[in-house]
Amino acid sequence: MTDALTSATPGSPVQFEVATNVPTTHGTFEMRAYRDLVTSAEHVAIIARTPDGAAPGDDALVRVHSECLTGEAFGSLKCECGPQLDAALDTIAAEGGVVVYLRGQEGRGIGLINKLKAYRLQEDGLDTLDANLALGLPADSREYGGAAGILSDLGIRRVRLLSNNPEKRRQLEEHGITVSALVPLVVGISAQNAGYLDTKRDRMGHQLPAHLESGAAG
């Protein structure tokens, strides 16, 4: 892991830009900014040391989190993204670990405007997957090569992945990151998003409980 300003490892899909410490309501984190050399998106690694002061290493607890303006900034109840990010930051603040925050992945990669168009179709009865397909868009177009590049830059090649999504595991392993375990992150369930979560479980393979109850956490 380099501490210099702006550097790129040959062959890496990301370029490190800057590191700084940022106090937040969850704790004080080191934030390392990266430029994605494939998509030009700007990503952030949010890093917390372990309770004994060590930097996260192999088998670190890691959350790979996709940007969600509606859920994180506006408090939308149509998804669980805001509570997931909050829970992940609280967890790494307590235990040590990394949240890799990927920008440019709004709406599972379709963008903000298309996401709102999909929401409009959901008002007519389509589920989250069919709404994307009705717009001529993929159900999920996210790609995690940038996340793998960031983890490699941090010297992390093996992780415990804080996620319910086995596709993240598959893609990270395809890019050379070993996932020793999927650690469930079941938070933010509400009456407004229960159907959305059912679709993610039943049609997209997310590892979620068979019976979702409002207020569940994990």
pLDDT in tens, 109-164: 999 999 999 999 999 999 888 999 999 999 888 899 999 999 999 999 999 999 98
- What confidence score (pLDDT) does residue 115 get? 94
Query: 89, 24 in Cβ contact below 8 A?
Result: yes
Query: 157, 58 in Cβ contact below 8 A?
Result: yes
In the annotation, is 52 catalytic? no
Q: How confident is the model at residue 218 (pLDDT cuts 50, 70, 90)?
A: very low
pTM of the model: 0.88
pLDDT over 70 percentage in the chain? 85
Of the candidates 142, 157, 201, 202, the residue annotated as catalytic is 142
Q: Nearest to residue 80, comparing CAs of 168, 162, 185?
A: 185
Please calculate the CA angle 138-180-211 and round it to the nearest 5 degrees: 60
Of the candidates 36, 127, 140, 153, the residue annotated as catalytic is 140
Distances (CA, A) of 195 to 12, 109, 125, 185: 39, 20, 11, 17
Structural domains of the chain ordered from first start: 14-105+142-204 (3.40.50.10990)
Measure the CA–CA gap between 69 and 207, rounded to whole angstroms: 24
In the annotation, is 86 catalytic? no
Largest CA distance in the chain: 52
